[in-house]
Chains A and B, each alone.
Chain A
């Protein structure tokens, strides 16, 4: 059976993981390559590395980080943050990423989705959508949820799919950081509107929240970041709980 994916997310700035997951015996808890390898060994189905500062000057550092991280990873590996052109994406692929995640650049120039999709295949393009609930359907935001775009999340997801996106990474800005659970209603709306997989993000506080977003939220995958700080040891422990709830997951892993 096709399983639900647990994707471990690393926030990176200047080549270092910030608010990274604490594995007790890590030699260097800030090293993205070491952390990514640990997550993969601990059962993560996929790794996402997000460059949260994404400055122009930092591109060289990021590519070096991607290269070192990819070298030891044999699960799908995505990179996001600061990708504004197909050439930016190309450099990230050359460094060893399998997919790129694009967000604000896709909104300001939607043809970027077509460009990257044509050159590298739809499977290599994730369109990240940050959305906030609004009266007539959730709205897309940029700049870390500060700036509204006037676009509806569901419509934007559909357009991204038509243009050749391979996956949608949907973050609920309302749920993000609350630890009260994913926004299952929003996730289900987007997931039902497109044929491509939807990765849910924002709000996870415990394993039950993942069960909910896979069932009620109809998510195909979910991003796990801070959950590993709060009682759930690692992806394997999370997936073991999900399996007990009857969610299909990759186990043993």
Chain B
């Protein structure tokens, strides 16, 4: 049985994420303790609400524990604010740094004729330039469920081994007002802006891919 550690940092409701992972027959451990996270085989960081809630990750010593497991190659999935936290930071709470695994800032959807927040089912466009592991078996234009006002821009990057060629980790995009990163994937680090636990069969497929992800 696949073991997954879900980080509880008191930001929203974990019930749905845990339920979906258990439905996929994962053995789920919910914790807020850094030493448990350091020993995890697989880590999910959920999160809804305000970016400033991630301050608790710093205060409780979870941030260094996450850095450690990521460096050890443990598969990591951030959901919604959990994905946004992988960046340098967010305009929603500029004083609160993110993990900085990816370079770039979360920004608010531009004001205009469309409503903000972006709520509902929208289509994903899966990266075709190189294969992704998160979207194996997921078709172009499948729908996933979103609810957010801040987005991860398509221009984020990570420095790889070659400093002259930064890597863009975007694994899928979605268009609402503008194109934004629906998902990121770089080595063992993944994130989705949508809610796979609320995205029907498509979402379960993506979570299953994460559970089967071997590094």
A binding-site residues for B, Cβ under 8 Å: 1-5, 40, 45, 70-71, 74-76, 93-96, 98, 120-124, 166-167, 195-197, 220-221, 250, 253
Contacts and interface: CB of A to CB of B under 8 A. Distances in A.
B118 A2 contact: yes
Main secondary structure on A side of the interface with B: loop
Nearest to B176: A2
A152 B123 CA distance: 36
24 contacts: A1-B123, A2-B121, A2-B176, A70-B15, A70-B19, A71-B19, A74-B23, A74-B204, A75-B145, A75-B199, A93-B13, A93-B15, A95-B15, A98-B198, A120-B48, A121-B11, A121-B50, A122-B49, A123-B48, A123-B49, A124-B12, A166-B147, A195-B117, A220-B115
Given A2-B176, A123-B49, 19 more contacts: A1-B175, A3-B122, A45-B121, A70-B16, A74-B23, A74-B199, A74-B203, A75-B199, A75-B200, A76-B198, A95-B15, A96-B15, A96-B19, A98-B13, A166-B117, A197-B115, A220-B119, A253-B143, A253-B200
A1 B200 contact: no
Nearest to A251: B143
A71 B16 CA distance: 9
A40 B203 CA distance: 14
B119 A74 contact: no
A123 B201 CA distance: 22
B147 A123 contact: yes
A220 B19 contact: no
Contact of A5 (B19, B121, B176, B199): B121
Contacts of A71: 19
Contacts of A70: 15-16, 19
B115 A3 contact: no
A220 B147 CA distance: 13
Contacts of A253: 143, 200
B29 interface: no
B122 A2 contact: yes
A122 B148 CA distance: 10
Contacts of B200: 40, 74-75, 253
Q: For this complex, into which size category does the number of interface residues on chain B fall?
A: 20 to 34
A103 B119 CA distance: 21
Contacts of A95: 15
Contacts of B204: 74
B84 to A, nearest CB: 14
B15 A2 contact: no
Interface in B75-129: 115-123
Contacts of B198: 74-76, 98
Contacts of A197: 115, 117, 119-120
Contacts of B15: 70, 93-96
A224 to B, nearest CB: 15
B121 to A, nearest CB: 4
B143 A3 contact: yes
Contacts of A167: 119
A250 B121 contact: yes
B20 interface: yes
Given A74-B200, A124-B13, A196 B122 contact: no
A219 to B, nearest CB: 11
Contacts of B49: 120-123
Contacts of B16: 70, 96, 98
B52 to A, nearest CB: 12
Contacts of A121: 11-12, 48-50
Given A1-B122, A3-B143, A195 B116 contact: yes
Nearest to B48: A121
Contacts of B8: none
Contacts of A195: 115-117
B115 A196 contact: yes
A3 B14 CA distance: 26
A74 B120 CA distance: 14
Contacts of A93: 13, 15
A62 B118 CA distance: 30
